[in-house]
Structure 1
Amino acid sequence: MQRGLAKGDRVIIALPNCPEFIYSYLGAARAGGIAVPLNLLHTPRELAFIIKDSGAKFLITNQFIGQQIKQLPNLDLTVTILDENSIKEILSSPPAAFPEVKSEDTCTFLYTSGTTGQPKAVMLSHDNLIGNVISMDEAAKFGRDENFLVVLPMFHSFGWSTSVLLPLYIGCTATIIDTFRPKELLQILSKERITIFCGVPSMFTVLLKTRRQTTFPTLKYAISGGDSISEEHMLAFEKLFNFPVIEGYGLSEASPVVCLNPLYGVRKIKSIGVPLPGVEVKVADDDDRELPSGEIGELLVKGPNVMKGYYNREEETRSALKGGWLHTGDLAYRDQDGYFYIVGRKKELIITSGFNVYPKEVEEVLTAHPTVAEAAVIGVPHPVKGESIKAFIVPEEGRTPDKQELLRFLKGHLAGYKIPETFVISSELPRGATGKILKRMLK
C-alpha cells in the first residue's frame, strides 16, 4: 500500500517457485490488487503483450528476471526487486490499512496459453479459488500431516491451486523446488517425507526414463493433470515406482480442477474421474442438449469454481459462458458409472472423408508401440479428403520406428480412415509451461 497500490490495480508477479512468490501473490490480493503471474517461459513479445493487455501498474520480481523485463519496450511499471535489502525494508514498514475486499472481487488474471489468437486473461475471484480448494479437500479428505511437493510452476493454475493454495487451506506442509530436475525430484520424494506429488504427464514420462527403482516410504499417490497420460506409461510408471497416479481434469477457466478420480475409491485408468463436490459437469451437443452415456460431445461445467469471464473480451466471455455453463472446448463422453473421458479438443477434431477422427485415440495407439515414446496427431489440408492425418513421433531411446511396421500395428487397432498418412520423426515435441504439447506449433 505504501507504494501506491489501489484496489483493483494489477500486480505482475515474475518469480520462479519460491516463498516470495506466495507472499507477493497473497499480499497483492489482501491489499485489493489483482495478481498477474507471468509465465517465465514466454518470449519477450508474449510478456510485453500480457503486461500491456492487463493494464498492470506494478511489478514484483527478482534482480535477474527484472533486468530482462526492463528491456521490454514502452513499460510504465512501479518495480519492486526482491532482494535481502528490499525484503528487510518491507518487513520493517508499519502495517498498512487495507481496503475492504469482497469475496466476489477479482483476485487474479491467469493468461491462457492462446491456442487461438492472442492469450486471454481469465478473471478469477476469491470465491472461485477458495471454492475450488474446498471442493478438492472435500473430494480427497486431506489431513494436516500431508506434505505436498511444489514442483509445478506457481504461475500456472494447476500448480498454484493444488500445490500451494490447497496445503495452505489445509494447514499442512508444502516443500518447494524451483524447477523440475528428475534425479533431484526422485531424491526429494524419497527423503523429504512427501505424501502428495502433483505433476503433468511429461514429468512422469521423464521420470520413467530414469529407470531408477527408488523407494518412497511416505508417498501416497501422485495426481496427474494438464494433459492426458498414456495407459502404457501410467502402468509402467506405477510398476517401477510402486505408487498410483490419479488422473484428473481442469482448466484455468475453472480455477482449475473440475474432475478427479476418487483417491480412495474406484479408479478408472484413462478416465478423468468424477466431478468435484459442488461442481456440475455434462456432455452436450452443439445446441447444449445433454447427451446420454457413451455419446461424444462438448464438456460443459457449472459451479463456484467457474471464472467471472475474460478481461476486456465480452464477446468471448458470452460464448464461453453461454447459458450459464462453461464451454470447455473439450470433447468427452460419460460412462454408465458417471466417470468422464476426454477424447480431444473440439477444434482439433479431424474430419477426413466425412469421418470424425479424435487425435487422442490415434496417439494412444501409437504410444502403445514399443518404439514410440510420444506422439502428437494433427489434421492437415487435403484436396480430396478435406483433411489427412499427420503424426509426429518421438522414438523410445535407442529405437527407430519403421513406418511399415507402424502401419501394420495401427491397422490391427484402428479403422483405416484413422491411420496417419504421414509420419514425422522428431527428437522432441513443442510444449507449454506445464508440459502440454502445443499442437498449434506443429501446424
Structure 2
Amino acid sequence: MHNRHDQNLDHPALSYYDKIISYAELENNIEQYARFFFSRGVKQGERVALALPNCPEFIYSYLGIARAGGIVLPLNLLQTPQELLYILRDSGARFLVTSPAIGLQLKQLPGLPLTLFILDEETQKEIMTAPPVCFPEVKSDEVCTFLYTSGTTGQSKAVMLTHDNLLGNVRSLDEASDFGRDDNFLAVLPMFHSFGWTVCVLLPLYLGCTITILDNFRPKEMLQVLSEKGITVFCGVPSMFTVLLKLRQKASFPRLKFVISGGDSISEENMLAFEKKFNFPIVEGYGLSEASPVVCLNPLYGVRKIKSIGLPLPGVEVKVVDEEDRELPAGEIGELVVRGPNVMKGYYNREEETREVLRGGWLHTGDLAYRDQDGYFYIAGRKKELIITAGFNVYPREVEEALASHPSVAEAAVIGVPHPLKGEVVKAFVVPEEGRMPDKQELLQYLKGRLAIYKIPEEYVITSDLPRGMGGKVMKRFLK
C-alpha cells in the first residue's frame, strides 16, 4: 500500500487514545514487523491469523504480513473456540499474531497447531530490532487476505482477496469521494470486518490522511471523540446509529462531513431521526466480503435516495438478473450480480462453489434487488434467508443444526424478526422430541458454547409441528 503523498511523513497517520503515530513511524513499524515475521518463517503464501482488537498493532501486523508475502487471516473475536478452530484448520494457518490477553484464551484451544506471536514487551523489542531482509517481490494479483464468511450451507469458507482486489476497491472509493489528507476517519468498526478495514483503514492510508482508532464501540466515548478529535468521516452499522439516537446528550460535531452506513439497511424512520438530531447526512452503501467489500454507495454530493443502496462505485458494474442470468429491466426484482476489479479470486479450496458464484464472470451475491429509472439500486430481500443482527450475518441453517443436536429437540426452524435496536434478532421454532419439553434457559445454556453470542436465538416458540410445502421444505414465510 503506497501512500501517494511521500512528502507526508510528519503528517499524523494514526491517533490512538493519547498516541499519535506519523506516516514516517507507521512506515518504520510496518517494515520492522515485516522483517520480524519474515525471519520467523512467514514466507510467500503462508497464512497468518490475526486476533487483535482495533489498535495500531493490528495495522502494523496486517501490512507487515502482506509485505513479507504472507496471507492475512483476520479473526472475528466474537466467534467461539469451535468456530475459530474450524477456520484455523480449514485455512492451513501456521502462525497467529495476538495480544497477551487474547493469547491466554487461545491457548485453551485443544490441539492448536500454530506458532503464536504474542505481542508482549519482549516480542515488541525483537520486532523493533529485527535486521533488514530482502523480501520477495509480491505480485499484485497474489492473494493478500482470507476473509471467512458463512456460506448458505452454514460452513464458513475463505474469500480470497488479492492486493489488486483491495486496492481496486480503494481506488473506486477515492473516485467516488473527494476526501483528502486533511480528513480524519474514525475506525470504530472492527478491523477484522471487511467494511471497517477497507473504508476506515486502507482508504485513509491511501489518501495520506489520519485514522482515529477506537478499540470498541462505547456510545458516550464515541460521541466525545467525534466532537473533540475533529473526525470528518465515520462508518458504522445501523445498530450503532440506533444506540446513538437513544443517548440523551446533545453534541456538536464541528468537522463531521459524512456518516457512511453499511452492513444492513437502516430504517427510514431512524435515518431521518438521526439526521434531525445530529444534523448531518447518513450515506448508505452496500457491499460483501466477496467484493472487497464495497459495491454501491449513495452519491456524497448529489441525490441520495432513502432506502436505496445508491449507485455502483466507479469501475464496478452491477446488474439485476433472472434465474437464467438475463438482465432484467428497471423495477423488476432479481439477483444482484457484480463485476469489477474488487471481485474476489474465489473461495479457498472450494472450486465448485467458486465456479457457481462467479459463473459467467459475474459475482452472484444471493441478494435480491431491483434498480429504478435513475439507475439507483435497492435491496429487496435475500435469496438466502440471511438474518442480520447488529451488522452480523447469521445463517438460519447453522442455528437450526445446533438446536437440532439437543437431545430434547426433534427439529427446529429459525427466522429473523424485526428488533428496534439490532435490526433483527434470531427467533427459533422448536419441535420437541416425544415426551420431552426443553425450556428456553436450557436451550440458551446449550447453545452458549456452540454458537457465537449474536447467533443465539433470543425468542423461542415450542410447537408440535412446522408448516411444510409440497416438497417437505419448511415454509418460513408462514412462521413470520
Matches within 5 A, 1:62-81: 62-81=99-118
CA offsets 1:208-236 (integer angstroms, 9 cap, x no match): 11132211000001000011000000000
C-alpha distance in 1 between matches for 2:369 and 2:418: 24
**1:252–1:211 CA distance, 2 compared to 1 (3 A):** same
The reply to whether residue 207 of structure 1 matches residue 232 of structure 2 is: no
Decide whether aligned partners of structure 1 residues 286 and 441 sit closer, same or farther in structure 2, where only a CA change above 3 A counts: farther
Q: Superposed, which structure 2 residues align to 1:419-430 within 5 Å?
A: none
Q: Which residue of 1 aligns with 2:345?
A: 308
Contact 1:211 1:240 in 2 (8 A): no
The correspondence for 2:417, drawn from 387, 392, 399, is 392
Match for 2:86 among 27, 31, 49?
49
Superposition map of 1:152-301 within 5 A: 152-301=189-338
Rounded Cα–Cα distance in structure 1 between residues aligned with 2:191 and 2:47: 18
Q: Is the 8 A contact 1:107 1:125 kept in 2?
A: yes
Tell me the C-alpha RMSD between the 2 structures. 2.7
1:40 — aligned with what?
A: 77
Task: Choose 196-205 or 79-88, whichever is displaced more.
Answer: 79-88
Structure 1 residues 394, 342: closer, same or farther in 2, change over 3 A?
A: closer
1:367 is matched with: none
Aligned: 1:58 with 2:95: yes
1:354-369 equivalences in 2 (<5 Å): none
In structure 2, what is the Cα distance between the partners aligned to 1:235 and 1:49?
42
Q: Does 1:342 align with 2:342?
A: no
CA 1:183–1:55 in structure 2 vs 1: closer, same or farther (change >3 Å)?
same
How far apart in 2 are the matches of 1:336 and 1:305?
26
Asked if 1 retains the 8 angstrom alpha-carbon contact of 2:230 and 2:256, the reply is: yes
Give the equivalent residue in structure 1 for 2:186: 149
**Correspondence for 1:84:** 121
Matched AA of 1:51:
L
- Whole-Å Cα distance in 2 between the matches of residues 391 and 3 of structure 1? 46
Query: Partner amino acid for 1:197?
Result: F
Q: Give TM-score, length-normalised by structure 2.
A: 0.74
Q: Distance in 2 between matches of 1:87 and 1:27?
A: 14
1:140 is aligned to 2:177? yes
Is the contact between residue 115 and residue 440 of structure 1 (CA under 8 Å) also seen in structure 2?
Answer: no
Aligned residue identity for 2:43:
A
Q: CA deviation at 1:291?
A: 0.2
Q: 5 Å matches for 1:105-144?
A: 105-144=142-181
Conservation of the 8 A alpha-carbon contact between 2:81 and 2:109: yes
User: Contact conserved, 1:226 with 1:436, CA < 8 A, in 2?
Assistant: no
Question: CA offset at residue 278 of structure 1?
Answer: 0.4
Shift of 1:436: 13
CA distance in 1, matches of 2:455, 2:66: 31
What code does the residue aligned with 1:319 have? E
Task: Report deviation, 1:255.
Answer: 0.1
One-letter amino acid matched to 1:281: V
- What's 2:139 paired with? 102
Paired residue secondary structure (1:348): coil
1:438/1:225 CA distance change after superposition, 3 Å: farther
Structure 1 residue matching 2:156: 3-state secondary structure: coil
* Per-residue deviation, 1:4: 1.3
**Counterpart-to-counterpart distance in 2, 1:303 and 1:253:** 11
Looking at structure 2, the residues matched to 63 and 44 of structure 1 have their Cα atoms a distance apart, in angstroms, of 17
Query: Sequence identity of aligned pairs in percent?
Result: 71
**1:21 aligned to 2:58?**
yes
C-alpha distance in structure 1 between counterparts of 2:72 and 2:64, whole Å: 9
For 2:454 and 2:190, the matched residues in 1 are separated by: 16
Distance of 1:390 and 1:241 partners within structure 2: 34
Are the aligned partners of 1:9 and 1:33 in contact in 2 as well (CA < 8 Å)?
yes
Distance in 1 between the 2:159 and 2:414 partners? 32
Measure the CA separation in 2 of the matches of 1:440 and 1:130.
38
Q: Which residue of 1 aligns with 2:428?
A: none
Other structure's SS at 1:129 match: helix
Provide the C-alpha distance between the structure 2 equivalents of 1:230 and 1:438, rounded to a whole number of angstroms. Answer: 22
Deviation at 1:20, TM superposition (A): 0.3
Change in CA separation of 1:314 and 1:14 when aligned onto 2, cut-off 3 Å: same
Alpha-carbon distance between aligned partners in 2 of 1:42 and 1:33, rounded to the nearest angstrom: 23
Deviations 1:79-136 (A, max 9, x none): 1110222112111111122111100000000001345321110000000000000000
| C-alpha distance 292-436 of structure 1, shift in aligned 2 (>3 A) | farther
- If the length of structure 1 is used for normalisation, what is the TM-score? 0.80
Find the aligned partners of 1:248 and 1:162 in 2 and give their Cα distance: 11
Please list the CA deviations of residues 297-337 of structure 1 after superposition, one character each: whole Å capped at 9, or x if unmatched: 00000000000000011111011101000000000000000
2:161/2:345 contact within 8 Å kept: yes
Which residue number corresponds to residue 333 of structure 1? 370
How many angstroms apart in 1 are the aligned matches of 2:56 and 2:99? 13
Contact 2:78–2:453 under 8 Å retained in 1? no
Gaps of 5+ in 2: 1-37, 398-412, 422-446, 460-475
Q: Work out the CA distance in 1 between the residues paired with 2:231 and 2:344.
A: 31
The answer to whether the 8 A contact 2:169-2:342 is kept is: yes
Residues of 2 paired with 1:439 and 1:287: CA distance? 36
Cα distance in 2 between the residues matched to 1:24 and 1:337: 43
C-alpha separation in 2, matches of 1:323 and 1:7: 31
The answer as to whether partners of 2:152 and 2:384 remain within 8 angstroms in 1 is no
Q: Closer, same or farther in 2 for the Cα pair 1:395/1:176, shift >3 Å?
A: closer
Q: Report how far residue 441 of structure 1 moved.
A: 8.5
Structure 1 CA distance, aligned partners of 2:192 and 2:416?
31
